[in-house]
Structure 1
Amino acid sequence: MSDPTTSPYAIAALRRHYEKAAADEAAGEKFYQLMASYDQRDPVVLGYKGAAEAIKARDASLLEKLRYVQAAAHTFEQAVALNPQNAEVRYLRFSVETNLPSFLGMSKHVEEDRQMLIASLLKHPSSGLDAAGFQTIRNYLLKHGKVSAEEAQKLNGVKS
């Protein structure tokens, strides 16, 4: 059995990969290659695999984009089905779906995920998220204007 802290699929490592991949095409390709070989059923790791597929779509040729977006949607379905209450999985799907063009009709879970994320963050530290996951999700929602002023005030009042 491998040590989860040194595994290439350790959550902390995947968070760093995702952050880098979101900003850089070469990092996106590296992240995709790492995640393409993942074949287990951990919902959070599957969520990162879905995110890697979505990033691959961003950087793919026009003809390949839809294939990767559909693969990401399928992977997110699997991850959410395995653990519907996992805020990190919902955050990953939310961050992808809010960036998809609306004409694709593939952003069906945005409001559901947004509400679930806010509720989870407001329950922190009893949310099931570690401090880093809490900070990442809260910062994303606040920085990208995904919450109302009232929601932002409440989220800013929660200590990590």
Structure 2
Amino acid sequence: MNRLSRIFLTLLLTLATIVSTEANPYSVVSLRRQYQQAAASKEAGEKFHQLMAAYNQQDAVVLAYKAAAEAIRARDASMFNKLTYVQNASQQFEKAVKLDTDNAEIRFLRLSVESNLPAFLGLSQHVDEDRQFLVSTLLKHPASGLDADSFALVRSFLLDRGHVSEADAAKLARL
């Protein structure tokens, strides 16, 4: 295959990836973008929740985003409904983790939600486990299985929120 053919093939594959990502609102790339928007805006949060409420399959990562959408819904809900949404999120995270125990993105989403819940709810029992899992995963980078953007996001979250010891923070800062 000549150089021009390889370039053309690369462009076609890139375009196909972009089109399939945009055509599938449940692609991981699309979900990441929508989750970030939902975290920043009540309107985007409602739209994200509606999308995720319609999801009825069993992909572990998508279920974790569905759980995150429930948590965002709790943030914006009345006091009367907050607990229901948080409990739904907790149940969805349990399903997601059971389907893919070693997925760092699922563990990160669960940690980001549980670490922000009030302790009296009793729904933050995985914070230490997920934190340790994520630190261990990050320390394996670039063999962590996380792409560069996900790695940077998780590392920043752990460091900025004080979820790591000083020794681990120093190790992570060097990566």
- Regarding TM over 0.5, the answer is yes
Q: Any residues of structure 2 matched to 1:1-160 within 5 Å, and which?
A: 4-6=20-22, 7-158=24-175
Relative to total residues, which structure has the larger helix share, 1 or 2?
2
Q: Percent identity?
A: 58
Q: Which has the larger radius of gyration?
A: 2
* Cα deviation 1:7-57 (Å, max 9, x = unaligned): 101112211111121122111111111111111111111111100000101
Work out the CA distance in 1 between the residues paired with 2:67 and 2:165.
27
Q: Which has the higher contact order (CA 8 A, sep 6+)?
A: 1
Report the AA paired with residue 103 of structure 2: N
> How far off is 1:5 after superposition?
2.1
RMSD across aligned positions (CA): 1.4
Report the AA paired with residue 88 of structure 1: E
Query: Is the partner of 1:39 in helix, strand or coil?
Result: coil
**Runs of 5+ unmatched residues, structure 1:** none
Count of residue pairs brought into register by the alignment: 157
Work out the CA distance in 2 between the residues paired with 1:141 and 1:20.
20
What is the match of residue 3 of structure 2?
none
What is the match of residue 12 of structure 2?
none
> How far off is 1:82 after superposition?
0.3
Report the AA paired with residue 170 of structure 2: Q
Query: Is the partner of 1:103 in helix, strand or coil?
Result: helix
What is the match of residue 7 of structure 2?
none
Work out the CA distance in 2 between the residues paired with 1:156 and 1:73.
31
**Runs of 5+ unmatched residues, structure 2:** 1-18
Query: Is the partner of 2:171 in helix, strand or coil?
Result: helix
- Which has the larger displacement, 84-93 or 129-138? 129-138
So what's the TM-score if we normalise by structure 2? 0.85
